[in-house]
Amino acid sequence: MYPRLSDFFSDYLGFSLPFPINSFGFMVAVGAMIAAWLLQKEFDRMYQVGQLSGVRIPDPDHKGKGRKKMVTLSPSFIVGTITMLAIGMGFLGARLFHILENLDTFFRAPAAMIFTTGGFTFYGGLILGGFSVIWYVRSKGLDMGSVADAVAPGLMLAYGIGRIGCHLSGDGDWGIVADMAAKPDWLPMWLWAETYPNNILGIDLSMTPVYPTPLYEFGAALLIFGLLWSFRKHAHATGWLFWVYLVFNGAERWFIEQIRVNNTMDILGVSITQAELIALVLILVGVIGVVRSWSVRSRSFPVQGSGQAGGAAASSE
CA pseudo-torsion sign 274, 275, 280, 282: positive
Residue 123 lies in a domain: yes
Pick from 94, 209, 116, 218: nearest CA to 165: 218
pLDDT confidence of residue 121: 65
Residue 80 lies in a domain: yes
pLDDT confidence of residue 309: 39
Q: How many whole angstroms separate alpha carbon 26 and alpha carbon 78?
A: 23
Q: How many whole angstroms separate alpha carbon 235 and alpha carbon 149?
A: 12
Q: What is the DSSP letter of 317?
A: -
Residue 197 lies in a domain: yes
Pick from 73, 115, 79, 75: nearest CA to 95: 115
Q: What is the DSSP letter of 140?
A: T
- Asked if residue 19 lies in contact with residue 6, where contact means CB atoms within 8 angstroms, the answer is yes
Q: What is the DSSP letter of 14?
A: S
Residue 41 lies in a domain: yes
pLDDT confidence of residue 60: 66
CB burial string 27-55: b at 16+ within 10 A, e below: bbbebbeebbebbbbbbbbbbbeebbbbb
Q: Which amino acid is at 154?
A: G
Residue 105 lies in a domain: yes
Q: How far is CA 7 from CA 13, 16, 128, 201, 305, in A?
A: 10, 8, 33, 17, 50
Pick from 194, 231, 230: nearest CA to 212: 194
DSSP 41-52: HHHHHHHHTTSS
Range(s) of the domain holding residue 230 = 5-53+72-235
Residue 299 lies in a domain: no
DSSP 84-98: HHHHHHHHHHHHHHH
pLDDT confidence of residue 222: 98
CB contact set of 132 (below 8 Å; sequence gap of 6+): 85, 86, 88, 89
Residue 252 lies in a domain: no
Residue 145 lies in a domain: yes
| pLDDT under 50: residue ranges of the chain | 300-317
Q: How many whole angstroms separate alpha carbon 129 and alpha carbon 155?
A: 11
- Asked if residue 165 lies in contact with residue 24, where contact means CB atoms within 8 angstroms, the answer is yes
214-223 pLDDT, tens digit each: 999 999 999 9
Domain count, the chain: 1
Q: Is the backbone of residue 198 left (phi > 0), alpha (psi -120 to 50) or beta?
A: left
